Amino acid sequence: MIKYLKKKMSLTVSLVMFVFFVLLGTFMILMFVVILLHKIGYISLSDIRNNSSDAPLNIPTRFLLSNFIFCTFIGTAISGFFSRKLLRPIRKVIAATHQVASGDFDVKVDIGGIDELEELSNSFNKMTEELSSTETLRRDFINNFSHEFKTPIVSIKGFAKILKSGNLTDTERVEYLDIIISESERLTQLSTQILNLSKYEHMEIVGEKTLYRIDEQIRKIILLLEPKWTAKSLIFSLDLPDTLMEGNEDLIQQVLLNIIDNAIKFSYNGGQIEIGLHRNEKEEIIIKVKDEGCGMSEEAKNHIFEKFYQVDQSHQIAGNGIGLAIVKRLIGLMNGTISVESQVDIGSVFTIKLV
For the segment 265-314, what is each residue's pLDDT rounded down to a tens digit? 889 999 999 999 999 888 899 999 999 888 888 888 888 887 666 665 54
- Alpha-carbon gap, residue 286 to 332, rounded angstroms: 15
Question: What local confidence, expressed as pLDDT, does residue 277 receive?
Answer: 94
Residue 307's SS3 state is coil
CB 275 within 8 A of CB 292: no
Give the residues across from 57 on adjacent strands: 43
- Better-scored residue on pLDDT, 63 or 28: 28
DSSP 67-93: HHHHHHHHHHHHHHHHHHHHTHHHHHH
- Alpha-carbon gap, residue 180 to 155, rounded angstroms: 7
DSSP annotation of 204: -
Among the ranges given (58-62, 134-138, 267-271), the one the predictor scored with the smallest mean pLDDT:
58-62
Q: Which one-letter amino acid corresponds to residue 216?
A: E
- Alpha-carbon gap, residue 230 to 187, rounded angstroms: 23
Query: Which residue stretches of the chain are H helix?
Result: 2-8, 11-39, 61-86, 88-101, 115-165, 170-201, 214-224, 226-231, 249-265, 298-301, 323-333
Domains of the chain: 2-86 (no CATH), 122-201 (1.10.287.130), 210-354 (3.30.565.10)
- Better-scored residue on pLDDT, 337 or 3: 337
Question: What local confidence, expressed as pLDDT, does residue 111 receive?
Answer: 74
CB 224 within 8 A of CB 257: yes
Among the ranges given (107-111, 252-256, 327-331, 342-346), the one the predictor scored with the smallest mean pLDDT:
107-111
Among the ranges given (157-171, 191-205, 322-336), the one the predictor scored with the smallest mean pLDDT:
191-205
Q: Quick one: which of 110, 330, 71, 321 has its CA closest to 200?
A: 330
Contacts with 14 (C-beta within 8 Å, 6 or more apart), sequence order:
none
CA distances from 149 to 160, 188, 231, 309, 320 (A): 17, 10, 24, 17, 10
Q: Quick one: which of 247, 258, 257 has its CA closest to 283?
A: 247
User: What is the per-residue pLDDT across 217-246, written as a single tens digit (0 to 9) for each?
Assistant: 999 999 999 988 999 999 999 999 999 989
User: Which own/partner pairs from 204-209 qualify as long-range (CB within 8 Å, at least 24 positions apart)?
Assistant: 204/333, 205/333, 206/247, 206/248, 206/251, 206/333, 206/334, 207/248, 207/250, 207/251, 208/248, 209/246, 209/247, 209/248
Sort strands 272-279 and 244-247 into parallel, antiparallel or unpaired. Answer: unpaired
Question: What local confidence, expressed as pLDDT, does residue 137 receive?
Answer: 64
Q: What angle do CA 43, 46, 49 make, to 5 degrees?
A: 90
Among the ranges given (48-62, 74-88, 160-174, 194-208), the one the predictor scored with the smallest mean pLDDT:
48-62
- Alpha-carbon gap, residue 201 to 195, rounded angstroms: 10
